[in-house]
C-alpha cells in the first residue's frame, strides 16, 4: 500500500497541474477600485443627471422651435393630375400644376426643400430587400438570383437597371420654385447635388466601368415606372447620373415610418437669395408623375431652415426631458425613503 501511494504521488508530481499560475492576474489579486456608495453620492448622481438632461432638453426644444418651416400639401391641389396618374396607361402624358403660397417672414440662412409622403410604407420586409447591392456596386451579376423579383427582367429577357421594387417606385415629381417680385417672376436657383450621404455616393453605390455611361448600361432597360433610363437621370450634369444620382441615392435609403420626408433640393445662396428666401409671394411649379391616390397617400413639399441641433424635429429634446424628469423624480423618491428610514431608526434608538 505504501508503494502504491508513493507511486501515485510521483505520477501526480510529473503530470502538469491544471491550476492557474500563482500570479496576481490569474488569481484575481489585482488591486481594484471598490466604490462605497453613500446616500450623498447616489442622490447627487441622480439630481445632477436630472438637471443636465432637463437643461439639454429645454435647449434642444427651444432650438427646434426656432426653425422656420412651411409645409404645403399639393396632392389635393393638383387633383387633375392625380386623376390622370390613376390610370397607368397615361404614364407618358405630362401633367403640370402650380401652387401659390406666401412667406410672411424671411427664411434666413440655408434653406432646404423636402418632399414628404404620407401613408407610403417603405418598411415592408419584401420591399426593403427588393434590391441587388452587387448590381448597385456596378458589378456584372445575374439579378435573377437576387431578391428583385418581379422587377428583374422583361419578358424578352432584358434585365432592368436598377432592379427591384425600391428603385422602380422612385419619387419622380419635378418641383421648381419661383419668386414673384412685383411684376416679374424669378426662378429660385436650387442645388440638386451634394444632398446625399458621402458614403452612399462614394462607397455603397458605383457605376459600371466603361468609357461612357450609356455603353456601361448597354443591354439593360429602365424599370417599368421610369420615364428615363438610369444613365439619363440628370441631362445637365453627367456626374450626377447612373447609380450615383443624388435623387436615386436618397430614395434608396428607405424610411422606417409610413410618413416621412426626403431632402430634394437646397436653395443656392446667390443674387437675391444670398441671405436665404426673402418674404413675399412664391409659386411651386410641379411636374406631377408620382401617383398616391390608390393607397390614399398625400404628398407635401416642405421648405425649412436648420439650426445647430438639426431640423424642426423635437423628439431628441423631448427624450432628454423625459429622462431628466425620471432621474429627478427617482432622486426625490430615494430621498423620501431615506428620510423615512432614518426617522424610524432614530425612534427605535430612543
Could you report the per-residue pLDDT of 88-108, keeping only the tens digit for each?
777 778 889 999 999 999 999
Strand order in the sheet with 260-267: 69-73, 298-305, 111-118, 260-267, 190-191
pLDDT at 39: 87
Q: What's the pLDDT score for residue 347?
A: 66
CA atoms within 13 A on the CB side of 321: 11
CA 32 to chain centre: 43
Neighbours of 29 (CB within 10 A): 10
DSSP secondary structure letters along 202-258 = III--PPPSSSHHHHTTT-B--TT-SS-GGGS-SS-GGG-GGG-HHHHHHHS--SSS
- Domain segments of the chain as ranges: 77-109+124-256+278-297
End-to-end CA distance of the chain: 70
Angstrom distance (rounded) from CA 19 to CA 30: 18
The pLDDT, as a whole number, for residue 153 is 92
Q: Are 295 and 75 in contact (CB under 8 A)?
A: no
Q: Return the C-alpha cell found at 80.
A: 387633375
| pLDDT beneath 70, residues of the chain | 1-17, 347-350
Distances (CA, A) of 239 to 161, 236, 323: 18, 9, 46
pLDDT at 221: 92
Looking at residue 22, its pLDDT comes to 82
pLDDT value, residue 312: 82
pLDDT value at residue 167: 95
User: pLDDT per residue over 14-64, tens digit each?
Assistant: 556 677 788 888 888 888 888 788 888 899 999 999 999 999 999 999 999
Of residues 59, 57, 69, 73, the one with CA closest to residue 109: 69
Cα angle, residue 239 at apex, residues 233 and 241 outer, rounded to 5°: 20
Q: In what order do the strands lie in the sheet with 184-187?
A: 96-103, 280-287, 174-181, 184-187
Backbone phi and psi for residue 58, each to the nearest 5 degrees, phi listed first:
-65, -45
Instruction: State the pLDDT at residue 227.
Output: 87
Q: How many CB atoms lie within 10 A of CB 144?
A: 13
| The pLDDT of residue 38 | 87
What is the pairing mode between strands 298-305 and 69-73? Answer: antiparallel
Per-residue confidence (pLDDT) for residue 14, from 0 to 100: 58
DSSP element (H, E) containing 44? helix 39-65
Compute the distance between CA of residue 184 and CA of residue 195 in angstroms, rounded to an integer. 30
Q: Do the beta carbons of residue 138 and residue 208 sit within 8 Å?
A: yes
Amino acid at each position: 500500500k505504501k508503494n502504491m501511494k508513493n507511486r501515485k504521488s510521483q505520477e501526480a508530481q510529473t503530470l502538469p497541474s491544471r491550476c492557474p499560475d500563482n500570479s496576481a492576474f490569474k488569481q484575481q489579486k489585482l488591486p481594484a477600485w471598490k466604490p462605497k456608495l453613500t446616500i450623498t453620492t447616489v442622490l447627487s448622481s441622480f439630481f445632477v443627471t436630472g438637471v443636465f438632461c432637463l437643461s439639454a432638453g429645454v435647449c434642444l426644444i427651444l432650438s427646434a422651435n426656432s426653425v422656420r418651416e412651411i409645409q404645403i400639401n399639393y396632392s389635393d391641389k393638383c387633383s387633375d393630375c392625380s386623376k390622370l396618374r390613376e390610370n397607368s396607361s397615361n404614364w407618358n402624358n405630362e401633367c403640370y400644376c402650380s401652387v401659390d403660397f406666401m412667406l410672411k417672414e424671411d427664411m434666413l440662412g440655408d434653406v432646404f426643400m423636402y418632399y414628404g409622403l404620407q401613408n407610403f410604407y417603405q418598411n415592408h420586409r419584401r420591399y426593403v430587400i427588393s434590391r441587388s447591392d452587387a448590381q448597385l456596386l456596378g458589378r456584372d451579376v445575374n439579378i435573377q438570383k437576387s431578391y428583385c423579383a418581379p422587377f428583374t427582367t422583361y419578358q424578352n429577357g432584358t434585365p432592368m437597371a436598377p432592379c427591384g421594387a425600391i428603385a422602380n417606385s422612385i419619387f419622380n415629381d419635378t418641383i421648381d420654385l419661383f419668386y414673384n417680385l412685383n411684376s416679374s417672376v424669378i426662378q429660385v436657383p436650387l442645388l440638386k447635388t451634394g444632398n446625399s450621404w458621402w458614403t452612399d455616393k462614394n462607397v455603397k453605390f458605383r457605376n459600371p466601368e466603361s468609357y461612357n455611361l450609356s455603353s456601361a448600361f448597354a443591354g439593360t432597360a429602365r424599370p417599368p415606372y421610369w420615364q428615363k433610363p438610369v444613365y439619363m437621370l440628370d441631362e445637365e450634369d453627367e456626374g450626377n447620373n447612373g447609380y450615383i444620382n443624388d435623387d436615386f441615392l436618397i430614395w434608396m435609403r428607405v424610411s422606417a415610418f409610413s410618413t416621412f420626408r426626403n431632402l430634394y433640393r437646397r436653395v443656392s445662396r446667390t443674387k437675391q437669395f444670398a441671405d436665404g428666401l426673402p418674404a413675399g409671394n412664391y409659386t411651386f411649379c410641379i411636374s406631377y408623375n408620382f401617383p398616391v391616390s390608390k393607397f390614399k397617400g398625400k404628398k407635401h413639399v416642405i421648405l425649412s431652415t436648420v439650426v445647430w441641433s438639426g431640423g424642426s424635429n423635437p423628439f431628441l429634446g423631448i427624450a432628454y426631458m423625459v429622462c431628466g424628469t425620471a432621474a429627478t423624480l427617482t432622486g426625490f423618491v430615494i430621498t423620501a425613503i431615506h428620510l423615512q428610514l432614518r426617522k424610524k431608526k432614530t425612534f427605535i434608538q430612543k
